[in-house]
A and B are shown apart, each in its own frame.
Chain A
Amino acid sequence: MSVQKKYKLSFAITFVLVVLLSSLWVTSIPTSGFLNAEKETIGFKFGYIRPFEGNTNLEGFYNNIKDTTYFAGADRLTENSTGMNLSNFYPIYDDSSSSLSFNEKYTYLPYDMTGKYGRSVYAIDYGNAKMLFLRGDLFKNEEESIYQEDWLRSIVEASDQLYNIVFINEMPQSTNIWDVMDELSINLVITENELYSPKSIVEQEPADWATAQSENWDVWNLNSNPNIQALLIDAVGSQLSVTALNSSGEPFDQMKQDLSSYQYDENIVANALIPIQSLWRYHQGSDEIKSTIPEGYDITGENPITSRYQIPADDWRSREYDDSNWKLGKGPFGYMKEQIPLTINQKLPMLNDTVTYYFRKTFNMQDDPSQLSKLFLYMTFEDGYVAYLNGEEISRDGMKVGLVTHNTLAQPNETYLYVEKDITNHKDKLKVGQNTITVEVHRSHPKSSNFIFDLSLTYTF
Chain B
Amino acid sequence: MKKKIMNEDICNMKIKALMLVLCIIILQGCGDTSTQYKLLASIQSTNQHIIVENGDVFVWENAKITINDEYTYETEYVPRGKTSVPYSLFTNAGGEVYQPGLLKVRNVEIIVPKFDGEKDAVFSW
For chain B, the bracket of interface size reads: 10 to 19
**A356 — nearest CB in chain B belongs to which residue?**
B84
Q: CB of A301 within 8 A of chain B?
A: yes
Say whether, besides A446-B48, A446-B51, A299 and B59 are in contact (CB < 8 Å): yes
Chain A binder among B1-9, B15-23, B24-32, B75-83: B75-83
Q: Which of A187-195, A208-216, A258-266, A396-404 contacts B (4 or more CB under 8 A)?
A: A396-404
- Write out the residue numbers on chain A whose beta carbons fall within 8 Å of the beta carbon of B86: 352-353, 446
Whether A408 pairs with B82 at a CB distance below 8 angstroms is: yes
- Chain A residues with CB under 8 Å of B83's CB are 405, 407-409
Which B68-102 residues have C-beta < 8 A from chain A?
A: 75, 77, 79-86, 88-89
Contact B81 A408 (CB under 8 A): yes
Question: Does any Cβ of A come within 8 Å of B46's Cβ?
Answer: yes
Q: Given A299-B59, A300-B57, A446-B51, A400 and B81 touching (CB < 8 A)?
A: yes
The verdict on A409 contacting B84 (CB below 8 Å), with A300-B59, A402-B59, A446-B49 known, is yes
A-B contact count (CB 8 A): 57
Asked if A143 lies at the interface with its beta carbon under 8 angstroms from chain B, I say: no
A400's contact among B46, B49, B80, B89, by CB below 8 Å, is which? B80
Does the CB pair B77–A409 fall under 8 Å? no
Name the contact of B82 in the complex, choosing from A299, A302, A401, A409 (C-beta under 8 A). A409
- Taking a contact as CB atoms under 8 Å apart, the answer to whether B84 and A403 are in contact is no
Q: Does A447 contact B (CB under 8 A)?
A: yes
Contact of A403 among B77, B82, B88, B89 (CB under 8 A): B77
**Which of chain A's residues has its CB closest to B44's CB?**
A445
Tell me whether B80 and A300 are in contact (CB under 8 A): yes
Judged by a CB distance under 8 angstroms, whether B125 is at the interface is no
A219–B92 CA distance with the chains assembled, in angstroms? 68
Contact A301 B80 (CB under 8 A): yes
Least CB distance from B35 to A in Å reads 25
Cβ proximity bits A384-410 to B, threshold 8 Å, 1 near / 0 not: 000000000000000111111101110
Q: Do B79 and A402 touch across chains, with their CB atoms under 8 A apart?
A: yes
Q: Known contacts A299-B79, A301-B80, A404-B79: does B59 contact A352 (CB below 8 Å)? A: no
A355 at the interface (CB under 8 A from B): yes
Question: Which A residues lie within 8 Å of B80 (CB)?
Answer: 300-301, 400-403
| Contact call A300/B81, Cβ cutoff below 8 A | no
Nearest B-chain residue to A399, judged by Cβ: B81
Query: Is A302 a contact of B57 with CB atoms below 8 Å?
Result: yes
Q: Taking CB as reference atom, which chain B residue is nearest A351?
A: B86
Given contacts A353-B86, A446-B48, contact A405 B81 (CB under 8 A): no
CA distance A402 to B46 in the complex (A): 26
Choose one: A300, A399, A401; the contact of B58 (CB below 8 Å): A300
A411 to B86, CA, bound (A): 19
What 9 A-B pairs come out closest when comparing CB atoms?
A409-B82, A400-B81, A446-B49, A446-B84, A403-B79, A299-B59, A407-B83, A400-B80, A355-B84
Q: Other than A400-B79, A445-B51, A446-B84, give 10 A-B pairs with Cβ distance below 8 A.
A: A300-B57, A353-B88, A402-B59, A402-B79, A402-B80, A403-B59, A408-B83, A409-B51, A445-B46, A446-B51
Q: Which residues of B contact A (CB under 8 A)?
A: 46, 48-49, 51, 57-59, 75, 77, 79-86, 88-89
6 A-B residue pairs with CB within 8 Å: A300-B57, A300-B80, A409-B81, A409-B82, A411-B81, A447-B46
